[in-house]
């Protein structure tokens, strides 16, 4: 599912969980993103409010998203109304 998130778009952990039939599985999706195979665009998966997680990788994730044209709100969250796959 992560491989199908288009360039310049994001999905939340919860959205992926719901799509997989596990509406309460956002944390499991987060765990999977920490252990996903190389080549998957894991930086396109964000919190439901657009916040970026990732500790040491947060700056890299933001840079990847900005390079794809994703815009951020003044408080540092992804503008989910414009860049969420479900809003497209």
CATH number assigned to the domain comprising residue 55: 1.10.10.10
- Cα-based distances in Å from 62 to 3, 59, 74, 76, 88: 18, 5, 13, 9, 20
Q: Is residue 43 part of a domain?
A: yes
Residue 86: the pLDDT is 80
**Digit-coded pLDDT (tens) for 23-79:** 999 999 999 988 888 899 999 999 999 999 878 889 999 999 999 999 999 999 999
Which residues of the chain form beta strands (DSSP E)? Answer: 11-12, 45-46
Q: What's the rounded mean pLDDT across residues 13-25?
A: 95
Q: Is residue 84 part of a domain?
A: no
Q: Is residue 35 part of a domain?
A: yes
User: Domain residues for 48?
Assistant: 2-74
Total structural domains in the chain? 1
Q: Is residue 85 part of a domain?
A: no
């Amino acid at each position: 599912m992560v491989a199908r998130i288009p360039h310049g778009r994001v999905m939340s952990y919860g959205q992926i969980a719901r799509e997989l039939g596990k509406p309460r599985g956002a944390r499991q999706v987060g765990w999977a993103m920490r252990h996903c195979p190389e080549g998957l665009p894991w930086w396109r998966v964000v919190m439901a409010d657009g916040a970026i997680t990732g500790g040491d990788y947060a700056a890299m994730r933001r840079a990847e998203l900005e390079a794809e044209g994703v815009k951020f709100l003044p408080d540092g969250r992804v503008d989910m109304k414009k860049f969420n796959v479900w809003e497209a």
